[in-house]
A and B are shown apart, each in its own frame.
Chain A
Amino acid sequence: EPEVTQTPSHQVTQMGQEVILRCVPISNHLYFYWYRQILGQKVEFLVSFYNNEISEKSEIFDDQFSVERPDGSNFTLKIRSTKLEDSAMYFCASSLGLLENTEAFFGQGTRLTVV
């Protein structure tokens, strides 16, 4: 069964450092998403991406965050200068079409710890 792959599974970084979280969406999917979940809290939407541009973003997704699809397979989330409160599980997801017509497939997440 096709799956969304995220690397690394766990990343520890020092406050102020840049971090890049990587995702390989399902190959024929066209829509890509990043979510985060702070320990013990809800899964929160960050950004959606389609046709090489951001289609929607939440208030959380400020100038510290950026996304990129550098080639035909990877989808990355960059945090420029990490803060302690960026510590969370980050989930990548992809879907074949608009979510009203199909399902989103989520990766297993990257646990980011900022120290």
Chain B
Amino acid sequence: DAKTTQPPSMDCAEGRAANLPCNHSTISGNEYVYWYRQIHSQGPQYIIHGLKNNETNEMASLIITEDRKSSTLILPHATLRDTAVYYCIVLYSGNTPLVFGKGTRLSVIA
């Protein structure tokens, strides 16, 4: 089972920042935090990942707390097309697969 906890749903106004939290209190030192999303019934889409430091790319920012027990995905200016289910995944070392939980259903509202 996924070792993360996410709120089941969130709303965000279009144009505002969407902040999606994730708890991963059992994470160990060499495990990455990954974020994927699934728009409607499409295939999951990679967003961002990190280990210890905060990360930013063209899609989002990832803020990881110093103790690494939680993280926040930030979509800086949410659009209607960002409406999706967002999955926070802790990836264990080695050749282990992605394990998806239930994620957070983000609804961006006009």
Report B64-100 residues with CB < 8 Å from chain A CB. Answer: 87, 91-100
Report A62-115 residues with CB < 8 Å from chain B CB. Answer: 89, 91, 93, 98-100, 103-109, 111
B32 and A100 within 8 A (CB): yes
Chain B residue at minimal CB-CB distance from A97: B95
- The interface stretch among B5-13, B16-24, B35-43 is B35-43
Chain B residue at minimal CB-CB distance from A98: B95
Tell me the complex Cα distance, A100–B46, Å: 13
Mask: chain A, 31-74; 1 = CB below 8 Å from B; 0 = not: 10101010000111100101000011000000000000000000
Some 28 contacts from A to B, beta carbons below 8 A apart, are: A31-B95, A37-B41, A42-B101, A44-B100, A45-B97, A45-B98, A45-B99, A48-B97, A55-B95, A56-B95, A56-B97, A93-B43, A93-B44, A98-B95, A99-B34, A99-B96, A100-B92, A100-B94, A100-B96, A103-B34, A104-B44, A104-B46, A105-B46, A106-B43, A106-B44, A109-B41, A109-B43, A111-B41
Tell me the complex Cα distance, A48–B101, Å: 18
Do most interface residues of chain B lie in helix, strand or loop, or is the interface mixed? loop
- Of B32, B95, B97, the most chain A CB neighbours within 10 A belong to B97
B92: which A residues are within 8 A, CB to CB? 100
Is A20 part of the binding interface, using a Cβ–Cβ cutoff of 8 Å? no
- 11 additional A-B pairs beyond A35-B100, A56-B96, A108-B42, beta carbons within 8 Å, are A43-B38, A43-B100, A45-B100, A50-B95, A91-B44, A99-B97, A100-B92, A100-B94, A104-B98, A106-B44, A111-B41
- Ranked 4 nearest A-B pairs via Cβ: A106-B43, A103-B46, A43-B100, A45-B97
**Do A99 and B41 contact each other (CB < 8 Å), given the known contacts A104-B46, A105-B46?**
no
Report B28-56 residues with CB < 8 Å from chain A CB. Answer: 31-32, 34, 38, 41-46, 49
